[in-house]
Structure 1
Amino acid sequence: MLPAINCIGFSPIEAYATHRSRLQAHAQRHHAHMLACIRLGGSASAAAMSQARAALASFNVFLMATVPIVPPVIAALEADPARSVATNALVLRIPRWRVSSTAARCRCRARRAARHLGLSVAGLAESDAHVLGVATAIESVLQSANAA
């Protein structure tokens, strides 16, 4: 069940459930690519969401790259709606959209690195203090490693 939810992400599912009637009545008012992303959420059931949330509850925190790819060229996305939807699903890493929680971003830049990397630390609902504590500890370790 969780892999199926993860392919879509929580945000399209929640957006579809919240805005379904408006989307049906006023589809022409929405950007076609965003509409396609939100409509993906219609394929998940409330039971699937509930099972996914229960599976996620066994984790302490979630660590993920802030953005997992180099930003794509916008013109290429505009020319290919399917690629736009797939890229959008991949790069929407705002964890509260995926796990209804809070998150913090740690900067992960080695002294010699050419690019800035980010690490998101997320937790489930009402775990703000824990998430911020873990993020603070991670940043402390990263700063020490970068200073060495």
Structure 2
Amino acid sequence: METILTNEKDERFIELSNELNNEYYSNIGEDSLKYLDYNTLEDPHVVLLVLNWGNPIACASYRIFDEQSVEIRRVYVKKRYRNKKIAYKLVKALEKLAMENNFKYSIIETGSENMAAINLYKKLGYEKIDNFGFFKDDDACICMRKEFKTLIF
């Protein structure tokens, strides 16, 4: 497996994002459709793709949220490759890139019933915060934030 850095225009990323949208639809039905506009890939994204023999099997991205923060987005691993710490490694790698670009925080949103994702983000050091922006009054969502710690040598 190899991990590559790309952007939101990469067809492989778009394909995986569409699979993620379809999975949301399978899991929560028509309620998932209200998030389609939020999940567009119009804003610039820093994207990591995992390829297995050249085939895209996982992705994660971030986009700039504000002057100090990035928003982790589109974290997805195809079902047969789950439980191998791929999502964990992708988010850690995105955090490293964000820190290298002088961001101080990372925020993320996920479904309030998506315990696998919530547990992953807690393991990565994210803490629940008040829902932001689009998700402000949406009980179906949970928002989390992590402050990057700088290492002093």
TM-score (normalizing by structure 2): 0.28
Higher RCO by CA contacts (8 Å cutoff, separation 6 or greater): 1
**Structure showing the higher helix proportion among its residues:** 1
Higher Rg: 1
TM-score (normalizing by structure 1): 0.29
**Structure showing the higher strand proportion among its residues:** 2
